[in-house]
Amino acid sequence: MTGTSPAADFLLARHRWHWAEAIPWILALAAFFLFPGWLALGTQILIMVLFALSLDLILGYAGIVTLGHAAFFGVGAYAAGMLSALLGWHEPITGLIAAAVSAAIVGLIAGLIILRTRGLTLLMLTLATTILFQEIANTFDHVTGGFDGLHGVTPAPLLGLFEFDLWFKVPYLYALAVLMLAFFVIRRIVYSPFGRELEGIRENVARMHAIGAPVRRRLVTVYTISAALAGIAGGLFAQANAFVTLDVFSFDRSGAVLIMLILGGSGRLYGAFVGAVVYMFMEDQLARLSPEFWQFGIGLLLVLTVLFARRGLFGLVETAARSLKGGGR
Amino acid sequence: MSTAVLETRDMCKSFGALEVARNIDFRLDPGARHALIGPNGAGKTTFVNLITGTLKPTSGQVHLGGQDITAMAQHERVKHGLARTFQINTLFNGLTVLENIYLGIAERKGLGHAMWRPVGSNREAIDEAVALIDRLQLTEDALRPVRELPYGRQRLVEIAIALGLEPRVLLLDEPAAGVPSAEHGILLDVIDSLPTEIAILIIEHDMDVVFRFAREITVLVSGGVLTVGSPDEIARDERVRAVYLGESSHV
């Protein structure tokens, strides 16, 4: 076969970058210059985008539904936090590496144990994982700070040059750089043969067995990678905010990241960006309007999304882009 | 007598007191065209599941190419050359026809764990998938999600995925089930033209398909082998007739 068919071209070219993929990064950089007063929120958003992306890898691609993804965020946060607050190692980048490695180890062990199960059992076990870690962090309060939180996280200047400032300029750019790097890795994985197999597992496990794929090994591998990325998000969170509380393991956090991904659209990478931005902005704005009822607004948007935009808000963007393109012909 | 490519020896399976496979001795020769028939509840699906490794036999063995595979997991058996299709379409519904077939080929080529290079970097696997799609006349549907295809076309995808695995042994579990008779033609042509080096076991209710295709037939009744023979022998066999007459007018 020397001639190319349209079908072959589709798979050959699928991983290539589209110009529109530059948009989120341009917007993120533009926000840095245009809205210097919003960088604290911006940093939290970038961290949640990374966290949602790590979830997309296992939920959107491999189809593992989890209510306990905060376990890995939390392990990463405490790893980076304790390294600085307790051991006096303040260099931030190695702190993030420690966060990634710790979360990956936890992800690997948890994955080996719980990924034997499926469906509701698996869902409950993911939830149990994060509750377990919250209890551990609470019990060993002499090292974790328990309910009072872990204070004294003081990252050293980034690359020895840039101090973590109160206006969140350095944390914002730092988080953006880490997000870009992580996104590059995730995107690469998604468009690899391994990434295609993850989609195969999501679509039909029985058929994956029947084509000879070692399903459990694939699942444990991606769970470990996802845990490492969530751990990096947690590590960034600890360094940017200079403290860690038990809240990093909370069910709220697991739920929030799930809602972000569903809002934005799962299994499509950029859904995590849209979902995290929309959720975090709404939370920020609605909480000002009504500190008690802000969740109503997010709940309403979630219901509307699930009813009318099954592929999430980014799915709407895709549809709009496609019809524009079709109209232009 | 050459060595069997697939063989079961005294294979039994019971769920509690219920025996669903009783002392099954079965052999499939290289290049065989063998049909497994039997009334509903005879244990045909159980037999397939025991061979593919979805179920583990209570006693007895399964051999593939002379190697004992009884303890092997399902996906390892596939790597040793045992492929199957499903009675009810078991496909990657949200993925395109091309991706459905590509996945099996990529896994066979050992690409499944490659996460640091794009799918597009391996031209060979993609071309192979496209060639298979052309062969099964699925070209115009190659980029459509499988779930949008009519059921009969999906049956072809089932077979295409299995062929992409380049099996030594192929189990076709009721390939014509659910396909309107108007669309039988293309499906039967595909089955007829399967490579002769593949040993094929077809499990089928439709006797037209069985007698057109099979050179040897095994009749399964209540979990045990009633008889094995050529289509002529089976057609003349009084016991087979009795079993089927009790059930329906298939024959």
Using the Cβ of A188 and the Cβ atoms of chain B, whether some distance falls under 8 Å is answered with: yes
Vertex B82: Cα angle to B122 and B229 (nearest 5): 145
As given in the structure block, the two tokens for residue A269 are: 């990478």
Chain A hits for B103, CB-CB cut-off 8 Å, are 196-197, 200, 208, 211, 213
Q: Pick the range with the lowest mean pLDDT from A143-152, A256-265, B169-178.
A: A143-152
Distance CA A106, CA A224 (A): 8
Using the Cβ of B246 and the Cβ atoms of chain A, whether some distance falls under 8 Å is answered with: no
Using the Cβ of B171 and the Cβ atoms of chain A, whether some distance falls under 8 Å is answered with: no
* Cβ contact B95–A218 (<8 Å): no
Q: How many CB atoms lie within 10 A of CB A33?
A: 7
As given in the structure block, the two tokens for residue B111 are: 């690409």
Vertex A268: Cα angle to A324 and A120 (nearest 5): 135
- Provide the pLDDT confidence category of residue A2 given band limits of 50, 70 and 90: very low
Q: Is A3 exposed, middle or buried (0-12, 13-18, 19+ CB in 10 A)?
A: exposed
Closest partner residue to A192 among B94, B117, B134, by Cβ? Answer: B117
Instruction: Using the predicted structure, report yes or no on whether residue B147 has a pLDDT greater than 90.
Output: yes
Per-residue pLDDT reduced to its tens digit, A140-166: 888 787 788 888 878 878 787 778 777
Partnered with residue A40 across adjacent β-strands are: none
Give the pTM: 0.92
DSSP 8-class letter at A17 = P
CB B63, CB B39: distance < 8 Å: no
Res A327: pLDDT: 55
ipTM: 0.90
Using the Cβ of B161 and the Cβ atoms of chain A, whether some distance falls under 8 Å is answered with: yes
Per-residue pLDDT reduced to its tens digit, B64-121: 998 999 999 999 999 999 999 999 999 999 999 999 999 999 999 999 899 999 998 8
Closest partner residue to B90 among A8, A207, A215, by Cβ? Answer: A207
- Provide the pLDDT confidence category of residue A328 given band limits of 50, 70 and 90: very low
DSSP assignments along A87-150, one per residue: T----HHHHHHHHHHHHHHHHHHHHHHHTT--HHHHHHHHHHHHHHHHHHHHHTHHHH-GGG-B
Domain boundaries, chain A: 38-250
- Provide the pLDDT confidence category of residue B247 given band limits of 50, 70 and 90: low
Instruction: Using the predicted structure, report yes or no on whether residue B2 has a pLDDT greater than 80.
Output: no
Which of the pair, A276 or A317, is modelled with greater confidence? Answer: A276
Nearest chain A residue to B130 by CA distance is: A8
- Provide the pLDDT confidence category of residue B245 given band limits of 50, 70 and 90: low
- Provide the pLDDT confidence category of residue A10 given band limits of 50, 70 and 90: confident
* Cβ contact A199–B83 (<8 Å): no
Contacts of B43 (CB under 8 A, 6+ apart): B20, B21, B220, B222, B223
CB B231, CB B225: distance < 8 Å: no
Mean pLDDT of B36-56: 90
* Cβ contact A210–B74 (<8 Å): yes
Instruction: Using the predicted structure, report yes or no on whether residue B251 has a pLDDT greater than 70.
Output: no
**Please, what are the domains in chain B?**
1-81+167-251 (3.40.50.300), 93-165 (no CATH)
Res A215: pLDDT: 95
Torsion of CA B141, B142, B144, B146, to 10 degrees: 90
* Cβ contact B75–A188 (<8 Å): no
**CA neighbor of A228 nearest in space, from A53, A71, A107, A80:** A107
Phi then psi for A88, rounded to 5 degrees? 75, 20
